[in-house]
Amino acid sequence: MKTDNLKDLFDELDFDIAQPAENHEERFRQKLKRQPKKKAKRSNVISLWLPTMAIAASFLVSFLIFQGVFGNPFDQKQELANVSPEMEQTQNFYASVIKTELENLQEKKTPETEAVINDALRQLEILEKDYEKLTKDLGKSGQDKRVIYAMISNFQKRIDLLKTVLEKVETINTLKNTRHENNYI
């Protein structure tokens, strides 16, 4: 029964079985010659790179906007003052003491004490670099207490260093004055 339905379907369809005209091939070749030649390779390359470049440009623009608005997400430095108001007071206190001690040290600078003071300043730079590392660690650790204590300890080390150097400078200046007094007598 299925074959009868299929046979009926083909009988109902009108197939074009006529032969094409004699000049059909010629006309077809003429139409082919009139068509502009396309450079398929170049258009494929452009069609592939254009969306890729657009996506890359949009990522770049969004990254730059994000960085401008939110700061550098890869450089998570956090000051001690950002932890709490008490830590801000602590940081301000230590910073003011360090500043005062540095000013006292600069006032007592003489040619005899210059080497000791310069060495102390180099050691202070090392401690400041360590503090910068600690600020990055604080940003990464999410305000870990150990990092906060290390930052406070860094401030204390700087103050202790400055006080020790001030004592040495005063000792050097006292010895200098004592020697000169003995020479004059």
The last residue of one of the domains, among 11, 43, 70, is 70
Task: Please give the residue range of the domain that contains residue 94.
Answer: 82-184
Same domain, 95 and 177: yes
* Contact assessment for residue 162 and residue 102, using Cβ atoms and an 8 Å cutoff: yes
Same domain, 53 and 122: no
Q: How far apart are CA 77 and CA 140, in angstroms?
A: 8
Same domain, 65 and 86: no
**Amino acid in the structure at residue 101:** E
Structural tokens at position 26: 């010629």
DSSP 37: P
Domain count of the fold of the chain: 2
The last residue of one of the domains, among 49, 70, 91, is 70
Structural tokens at position 40: 């398929």
Whether residue 55 lies inside any domain: the answer is: yes
> Mind listing the pLDDT tens digit for each residue in 4-59?
677 777 777 766 677 777 888 888 888 888 876 655 555 566 667 777 777 888 87
Same domain, 109 and 52: no
**Amino acid in the structure at residue 176:** K
Lowest mean pLDDT among 77-86, 102-111, 153-162: 77-86
Structural tokens at position 97: 């003491």
> Mind listing the pLDDT tens digit for each residue in 125-151?
999 999 889 888 888 887 788 888 988
Whether residue 28 lies inside any domain: the answer is: no
Whether residue 27 lies inside any domain: the answer is: no
